[in-house]
Structure 1
Amino acid sequence: MRIAFYGSSLLSSYWNGAATYYRGMLSALHRHGYHATFYEPDAFDRQQHRDIAPPDWAEVRVYPATEAALRDVMAEAARADVVVKASGVGVFDDALLQGVMAAARPGAIRIFWDVDAPATLAELAAAPDHLLRRMLPDLDLVLTYGGGPPVVEAYEGFGARRCLPVYNALDPMTHHPVPPEPRFVADLSFLGNRLPDREARVEEFFLRPAALLPDHRFLIGGNGWGDKARPANVRSIGHVYTHEHNAFNTSPLAVLNIARDSMATTGFSPATRVFEAAGAGACLITDAWVGLELFLDEGTEVLVARDGAEVAAQLAELTPERARRIGEAARVRILSEHTYARRGMQVDALLREVAARKRAA
């Protein structure tokens, strides 16, 4: 089957946390015989910060962020068997959603793929006339990369025919153990862009432990932190390219995961970083969120903290030997249950089921 996938960016993870997810899903589907074309706008300086070359498992069409170019790429949806509009493209989102679904041929599978369900659902709740809310009954599927039962119930309550979570996962060919690098050495590292609904949690779960442990070394990566006030033992290194993530995860004693406010409240929303860190065999400390046990067991495969003081206590007691045991246990669990190969099987079976039902109808 041919897939026309309209998203933020496949080629760049710059201000684009969904890149790893897109890559894992489309490469997995390629192995099941799907031929995907990914349409991404030339916007937000992402093309100047590419971290992969155009892959052999998907065609990538980069289009100018203009209305004329938009019309051209929307028309190409007519050639696909599966038409996907992802959330958070950032350029002409409403026009894309309406345009590609209108262009889709009769019989094509129409999907809205939400990579930030809590944010999208908040928009739908606040706007009864929201375009997506009006279009949900006409779409075959809503897929989300997190959220679990609360998100499924919310989407179906807004009129979605069917909503299913397809969680983040690990591509072991991309994220795996590597030797540590001196520039990433620290006692605790955190990687994430500075966002309004994450900043207060970063202050609590990362900067507060740094203040409590002045003799420990802390490292923060991601865009936007350069001018953030921080203790003297915290070093900021800016954007970390995808090919550097393995070393970023293997070099410190432990890696910290901090959910955004909305993700923590919704639960069942493991960040991409969770699987990247586990794939590298890193010892992960995470803030607490509902549904974590579906992915990792507290105490043996991941350390969990309810506030910054608990992060500091976990880190102060952590030995290199225990960190290695936790990281290896996490790696074994994720490789067994949460790879993109498994997610690809899930989506392949789902698409074949929907296609067969549409043919029969």
Structure 2
Amino acid sequence: MTRPLDIVFLGLSLSSSWGNGHATTYRALIKGLRQDAHRVLFLERDVPWYANHRDLASPDFCELGYYSDLNAMIELYGERLRKADAVIAGSYVPDGVALIERLAALELKSLCFYDIDTPVTLAKLDRGDEEYLALRQIPLFDAYFSFSGGEVLARLEQNYGARSAVALYCSVDQERYANTGEAAAWDLGYLGTYSPDRQPTLEHLLLEPARRLPEMRFVIAGSQFPDEIEWPANVERIKHLAPAEHASFYSRQRFTLNVTRRDMIAAGWSPSVRLFEAAACGTPIISDFWRGLGELLPDGEALFIARAPEEVVALLRELPDSDRLSVAAAARKVVMNSHTGAARAREFARALLQLPANPALDRISA
């Protein structure tokens, strides 16, 4: 175990999982940090769309503070930020560019960035879109922690000026995700917020198989799907599913579908938290293909890759239960060994401890 660290995150949301995958990612990581006695403060911009949908307003594994504007945040938490071993700004934080500028001016011991949307971020920067991060700011960070690994890390350093790009995949809360033993309610399901670039794959790999298999049951859970979508009669819709219900949801599926956003597919090496959650619940996964997936969960051994409706239909109709459950068990073993919040927290703490000291602080204390 490493020495205890004092860490401050300024992220999109910890309190609300509504319409985002950040909250569950942060929760698993921070719970893992807490298990190793690290002290964590999470600061979240108080915005109405999350304030109205909070499912974890008072976590017991870290301090959670809200702020209404940057001046108020610096006034209230400035001293805590300066004393912290590491301050981590996150992707998609409101007024992120201004926030990073303010943090950089505080002469922190260590300032890092955790990008839970790396391929999306880089695609935005390439278009000149600096919604929450400016290109000029990337060299400011002592470490750029990235949702994506593989070739993306080299691109961050060589093309975008990151001093040190470090893979920090999302992870699963091992205490909350396990098979519940409930009877199967659906043959194939999907959990995810609506995204225009994911919808064609969802149509291809779930809705079309549902039309071809009217005797089977399907389910799609997630918010923000347009009202005009015509759902087949055998597809059940759940508009929002709180994290506390995820394990039950996965446990009641014979298979679950993983669908990846276009930018993530282009980058590769970008596993979503849903992939790890489903595997932890022992649910067999059908996924679209992207580079690096086989390094995490090999096709045919720990999940099934599908490129066409016919392949999904064949799996649902023909795969013996023994093969289906064997593949699910292999995926669960991989995830519980390497992709839990506890495992990711150890990786994160080790990386922070290896960061060089801030030379500006040495000059101040001299």
TM-score normalised by the chain length of structure 2? 0.89
Gapped regions of structure 2 (runs ≥ 5): none
Q: Higher relative contact order at CA 8 Å, sep ≥6: structure 1 or structure 2? A: 2
- Among the aligned pairs, what percent are the same residue? 33
Partner of 1:63: 67
Please state if 1:88 is matched with 2:92: yes
CA distance in 2, matches of 1:74, 1:59: 12
- 1:336-356 Cα offsets, whole Å, 9 max, x none, are 222222222211111111156
CA distance in 1, matches of 2:314, 2:72: 54
Partner of 1:203: 203
Partner of 2:281: 280
Q: What is the DSSP-based 3-state SS (H/G/I as helix, E as strand, rest coil) of the residue aligned with 1:225?
A: coil
Partner of 1:231: 232
Partner of 2:52: 48
Q: What is the DSSP-based 3-state SS (H/G/I as helix, E as strand, rest coil) of the residue aligned with 2:355?
A: helix
Partner of 2:263: 262
Segment drifting more, 298-307 vs 347-356: 347-356
Cα distance change on mapping 1:314 and 1:360 into 2, 3 Å: farther
Q: Is the contact between residue 146 and residue 169 of structure 2 (CA under 8 Å) also seen in structure 1?
A: yes
Segment drifting more, 37-46 vs 319-328: 319-328
CA distance in 2, matches of 1:181, 1:44: 38
Shift, 1:322, TM fit: 3.0
Q: Is the contact between residue 123 and residue 263 of structure 2 (CA under 8 Å) also seen in structure 1?
A: no
Which one of 144, 147, 170 corresponds to residue 145 of structure 1? 147
CA distance in 2, matches of 1:156, 1:35: 33
Q: Is the contact between residue 111 and residue 142 of structure 1 (CA under 8 Å) also seen in structure 2?
A: yes
- 1:18-63 Cα offsets, whole Å, 9 max, x none, are 1121111112222333211101122252233222352232100022
Q: Is the contact between residue 74 and residue 96 of structure 1 (CA under 8 Å) also seen in structure 2?
A: no
- 1:115-150 Cα offsets, whole Å, 9 max, x none, are 001111012222298863112222111001224223
Shift, 1:202, TM fit: 1.6
Instruction: Summarize the alignment of residues 171-210 of structure 1 with structure 2, pairs less than 5 Å apart.
Output: 171-180=173-182, 185-210=185-210
Q: What is the DSSP-based 3-state SS (H/G/I as helix, E as strand, rest coil) of the residue aligned with 1:289?
A: coil
Partner of 1:289: 290
CA distance in 2, matches of 1:129, 1:21: 23
CA distance in 2, matches of 1:132, 1:147: 21
CA distance in 1, matches of 2:18, 2:129: 33
Instruction: Summarize the alignment of residues 65-144 of structure 1 with structure 2, pairs less than 5 Å apart.
Output: 66=69, 68-72=71-75, 75=78, 76-89=80-93, 91-105=94-108, 108-127=109-128, 132-144=134-146
CA distance in 1, matches of 2:312, 2:234: 16
Partner of 2:322: 321
TM-score normalised by the chain length of structure 1? 0.91
Please state if 1:347 is matched with 2:351: no
Q: What is the DSSP-based 3-state SS (H/G/I as helix, E as strand, rest coil) of the residue aligned with 1:197?
A: coil
Please state if 1:240 is matched with 2:244: no
Shift, 1:174, TM fit: 1.6
Segment drifting more, 67-76 vs 112-121: 67-76
CA distance in 2, matches of 1:129, 1:14: 24
CA distance in 2, matches of 1:38, 1:236: 33
CA distance in 1, matches of 2:261, 2:18: 18
Shift, 1:239, TM fit: 0.6
CA distance in 2, matches of 1:308, 1:173: 35
Gapped regions of structure 1 (runs ≥ 5): none
Shift, 1:151, TM fit: 4.2
Q: What is the DSSP-based 3-state SS (H/G/I as helix, E as strand, rest coil) of the residue aligned with 2:49?
A: coil
Q: Is the contact between residue 150 and residue 266 of structure 1 (CA under 8 Å) also seen in structure 2?
A: yes
Aligned residues, how many? 355
Q: What is the DSSP-based 3-state SS (H/G/I as helix, E as strand, rest coil) of the residue aligned with 2:269?
A: coil
Partner of 2:305: 304
Q: What is the DSSP-based 3-state SS (H/G/I as helix, E as strand, rest coil) of the residue aligned with 1:100?
A: helix
CA distance in 2, matches of 1:84, 1:197: 29
Segment drifting more, 270-279 vs 298-307: 298-307
CA distance in 2, matches of 1:147, 1:73: 35
